[in-house]
Amino acid sequence: MAPWSGLWGGRAGGDAYRGTPVVVKMENPNWSISEISPDDDDEDFLVGAGATGGGRRKGGRGKNAKQITWVLLLKAHRAAGCLASLASTAVALGAAARRRVADGRTDADAGAAGAAGESPVLRSRFYAFIRAFLVLSMLLLAVELAAHFNGWNLAASALALPIIGVESLYGSWLRLRAAYLAPLLQFLTDACVVLFLIQSADRLIQCLGCFYINLKRIKPKLKSAALPDAEDPDAGYYPMVLVQIPMCNEKEVYQQSIAAVCNLDWPRSNLLVQVLDDSDDPTTQSLIKEEVAKWQQNGARILYRHRVLRDGYKAGNLKSAMSCSYVKDYEFVAIFDADFQPNPDFLKRSVPHFKHNDELGLVQARWSFVNKDENLLTRLQNINLCFHFEVEQQVNGVFLNFFGFNGTAGVWRIKALEDSGGWMERTTVEDMDIAVRAHLHGWKFIFLNDVECQCELPESYEAYRKQQHRWHSGPMQLFRLCLPDIIKSKISVWKKANLIFLFFLLRKLILPFYSFTLFCIILPMTMFVPEAELPDWVVCYIPALMSLLNILPSPKSFPFIIPYLLFENTMSVTKFNAMISGLFQLGSAYEWVVTKKSGRSSEGDLIALAVVPPKELRHQKTGSAPNLDLVIMKDPSSPATKDGKTKKKKHNRIYKKELVLSLLLLTAAARSLLTKQGIHFYFLLFQGISFLLVGLDLIGEQVE
């Protein structure tokens, strides 16, 4: 289009017309303003007739006012669209909550099979006092509301002993509360605040250590250079490496993990892959065997192993594999869980650190996540795990040469495993167990923050909840078992103190304890016993600072800082329950549930591989060509199997414990309006809503 040449397009009569006309494009709900010049005959943009010839048009202010009117109208339209979107979201949440209640499936139904051997008394003992607190809080709220609306003088009521009636009873309650309940509650409050400050100081010191590492650009260095020449094994450092892929009913992700490991850039004569299949489903076993056979035909050195007796979960599986006679020919073992996809250069960037470093027992890589933006739950998990790797693992690796093995994406020196006693089935955290025992035997660890291995995050709250229960009950089991060994070990006193007080007590026990006790129990109770004070800086400022520090390793997640803070407090219920189960050896402490995978990271690979002819596939190293029709027919998770049986449907559930706590917090929020308005009210309100959303399973994957 040719440029405009009239009064709107440039100078006319030696003077330029002032003002910027607009054309508004209405695209609901978005809109944009394009700065262009209208036609000369478009008088809608002009106010009044200008002089002919070179005279200046009048009405510049009117035109600008008209533009402002349009902009305001469009902003109002956009605001209405946002309100309509919020209203539809609220309606959708209400409908989902209604479906949850009508469906009637609760977390107790989900765990009935797994907890069949557990006593009902043990299952209900932990949350019995929560129900008691809830009933008590509702009763106290009713009494306080009656006192408020009746205008009772609380101070006078406490002294008006001769008065008989409800007001006198209320005065007796005030005296009892001030004399007996408030001191006890204040003591518990002060104790939890001290623990909170200690844990916050530890978190701050770790962040400062991470800042120092990044400032000084500190990272593990090779003691001697290794020539990366895979064509000539004699030219570089290419020791014998055993790769293990433990899996159990991993029908969604087995193809991608096997393909990624078989594509590792390492001399084939020096690499052997073990697929350690613990699946109890014959269909899944058959599919994995076929996948291994395809890679064997392509020249990969890969073996399939299946145990008849599946004792010890993952630890038993790894222990059985290490007992093979050919393992003695290998110097290192790399471990990858079934949903992990190492890059082809993984071994080249990790194994050379062992050269001329005989004290090194483990090289650990960090995780990256293919589905971190899938939903709110995966975004919040990404914040947590980024902090874990970027700060906790990196700082401990640089300054202490010790950290907890993450169970996957790591390379072990086989001699270090044997020297430490090998894999043991005594806990559900076999990775942390072997790391602690190796540390007690003097082995050092290295964490590679710049070497990533892709994996998948749990997308449903049910899967994430079970994973967190195992991750927090296992360390307490391990602490009970290895405490005598730590005390008797020959390592230095400060390393013993680090293991006992920092690694186990502070980060595994105190953190879930004070998070649950302080913010879910004590804070609501202080609303009903106002004589016990909980300062604002404990409720708001310190938690906000800690959340800010947690989110620094993943700055793109900054908009989720408030949901992250609320969700972490909500998850403290599950973590505290798991910690208690592991510490006191309750039935659920030994529960092992394989984290459910969606296989989302392999969908693109399957589609791409499905169109590749088999002849061309033999010359590629990117993956195998699965028979998708066979997978659909044999896979019991497909909508219809070969026998015509439909798959078992998934359901979102109601989590009763979280719902009970949401009622407690919302009741305390209502009570706070009578005495402590402000930060206490808002915290209790939003924390109660957070518990309510989690209790109704409205976070994470939604199943219709």
Q: In this structure, what token pair is assigned to residue 366?
A: 């960090």
Backbone angles phi, psi at 252, to 5 degrees: -80, -25
Hey, which residues does 303 pair with through a beta bridge? 274
278 is catalytic: yes
Count Cβ atoms within 10 A of the Cβ of residue 657 and give its class: 0-12 exposed, 13-18 middle, 19 or more buried.
buried
Strands 444-455 and 360-369: parallel
Q: In this structure, what token pair is assigned to residue 376?
A: 């709110």
For the stretch 148-162, what's the b/e string if a residue is b when 16 or more beta carbons lie within 10 angstroms of its beta carbon?
A: eeeebeeeebbeeee
Answer for the pair 363, 410: CB distance below 8 angstroms, yes or no: yes
4: Cβ contacts below 8 Å, ≥ 6 apart: 10, 36, 37
User: How many residues are there in the chain?
Assistant: 704
Answer for the pair 188, 517: CB distance below 8 angstroms, yes or no: yes
Rounded to whole angstroms, what are the CA distances from 155 to 160, 168, 398, 528, 686?
9, 12, 60, 16, 32
Q: Kindly give the residue spans of alpha helices, DSSP state H, lying in 217-253.
A: none
Rounded to whole angstroms, what are the CA distances from 220 to 312, 357, 370, 396, 453?
34, 12, 26, 12, 18
DSSP-assigned states of every residue in 51-99: PSTTPPPS-HHHHHHHHHHHHHHHHHHHHHHHHHHHHHHHHHHHHHHHH
One of 277, 278, 433, 635 is an active-site residue; which one?
278
d(CA 530, CA 678): 14
Question: Is the peptide bond prior to 512 cis by the omega test (within 30 degrees of 0)?
Answer: no
d(CA 572, CA 254): 33
Q: In this structure, what token pair is assigned to residue 657?
A: 């414990």
Answer for the pair 247, 279: CB distance below 8 angstroms, yes or no: yes
d(CA 73, CA 668): 42
| Closest listed residue to residue 181, CA positions, set 137, 147, 124 | 137
Name the one residue in this structure whose structure tokens are 């990533």: 452
Half-sphere exposure of 228 (CA within 13 A, CB side): 10
107 is catalytic: no
| Closest listed residue to residue 633, CA positions, set 620, 622, 647 | 647
Q: Give residue 25's region: left, alpha or beta (phi > 0; psi -120 to 50).
A: beta
Cα 444–448–449 angle (5° rounding)? 135
CA-based end-to-end distance of the chain:
51
Answer for the pair 417, 333: CB distance below 8 angstroms, yes or no: yes
Cα 474–460–544 angle (5° rounding)? 75
Q: In this structure, what token pair is assigned to residue 254?
A: 């087995």
Coil, helix or strand at residue 608: helix
Considering all CA atoms of the chain, what is the largest pairwise distance in Å, rounded to the nearest integer? Answer: 103
Count Cβ atoms within 10 A of the Cβ of residue 608 and give its class: 0-12 exposed, 13-18 middle, 19 or more buried.
exposed
Answer for the pair 683, 563: CB distance below 8 angstroms, yes or no: no
One of 277, 337, 339, 431 is an active-site residue; which one?
431
Q: In this structure, what token pair is assigned to residue 694?
A: 């989690």
Hey, which residues does 87 pair with through a beta bridge? none
Rounded to whole angstroms, what are the CA distances from 584 to 283, 473, 578?
39, 10, 10
With residues binned 3-state (H G I as helix, E B as strand, rest as coil), the percentages for the chain, rounded to 5, are 55, 10, 35
**Which positions are annotated as active-site residues?**
278, 431
